Amino acid sequence: TALLSPTCDDTAVVAAADLALRQINADRKEGYILSLYRIFSVREHPQEITGSVFYLILDVVDTECHVLSKKLWKNCNARLAHRTVYGQCKAIIYINQSRNIAHLNTYECILQPVPPRYIWSVCPDCPVDDRPTEPRYLEAAVQSLAKFNGESEQTHYFSVLNVTRASMQWVIGPAYFVEFLIQETSCSKKDT
């Protein structure tokens, strides 16, 4: 059978894009949940009996939800334009509605941050993303977590698992912004 070219706002296409993005996010182990910005293109290959294979190109942006949260992309807030990571995901998904099957055959996502020169042209005072592996960001995360550990009513201490996002802004001096994952330790707060 021939490949069809349905419109990007077709109900079946929108459903296929939603299912593909759910499965892409469920498969990812690092970064933040991707949200659908728009369906860039679609081709549909109807199968002999029922169902179709959809070849999708999706424009995506990251959200404020880390992939480990396992939230649905529709339940996550998109980041501000100058803080987002954006890109495209190419996905091939088989959908058979009558048998309630949705199988993501393959996908590839290419993501990139908004270029600093664009951010500075729109917002010269905005923080600019940096490499989260820099020691100064781990230090900032450890200091922040120490305050959390001291003020929380949790029974155990938490430690920094890793820094997932980092940025710097020059105010009077450098101001560091970090997003990081934490994990509960076996150390009780009752122990010294």
One domain, residues 84 and 134: no
Q: Which residue ranges of the chain lie beneath pLDDT 70? A: 1, 192
One domain, residues 63 and 145: no
The residue written with tokens 């980092």 in the block is 166
Q: For residue 33, which of 78, 1, 87, 2 has the smallest C-alpha distance? A: 78
The residue written with tokens 């949705």 in the block is 102
Residue 86 host element (H or E): strand 85-96
One domain, residues 105 and 137: no
Q: What does the block give as tokens for 58?
A: 């999706």
Query: By residue range, what is the domain housing residue 144?
Result: 130-188
One domain, residues 18 and 108: yes
- pTM for this one? 0.81
pLDDT at residue 83 in the model:
77
Domain count within the chain: 2
One domain, residues 49 and 99: yes
Cα separation, 23 vs 83, in Å, equals 24
Pairing of strands 156-170, 174-188: antiparallel
One domain, residues 84 and 49: yes
One domain, residues 35 and 81: yes
105-117 pLDDT, tens digit each? 999 999 988 887 8
pLDDT at residue 151 in the model:
92
One domain, residues 105 and 144: no
The reply to whether 6 falls in a domain is: no
One domain, residues 68 and 160: no
Question: From residue 78, how far is each of 6, 72, 112, 182, 183 by CA, in Å?
Answer: 27, 12, 15, 22, 25
Pairing of strands 101-113, 128-130: unpaired
The DSSP result for the chain, as a single string, is: -PPB---TT-HHHHHHHHHHHHHHHHH--SSEEEEEEEEEEEEEEE-SSS-EEEEEEEEEEEEEEEGGG---GGGSPBPPGGG-EEEEEEEEEEEETTTTEEEEEEEEEEEEEPPHHHHHHH-TTS-EEE-TTSHHHHHHHHHHHHHHHHH---SEEEEEEEEEEEEEEESSSEEEEEEEEEEEEEEETT--
Last residue of a domain, one of 115, 143, 162: 115
- Residue 105's DSSP bridge partners are none
One domain, residues 94 and 168: no
The residue written with tokens 């199968």 in the block is 47
Cα separation, 122 vs 80, in Å, equals 12
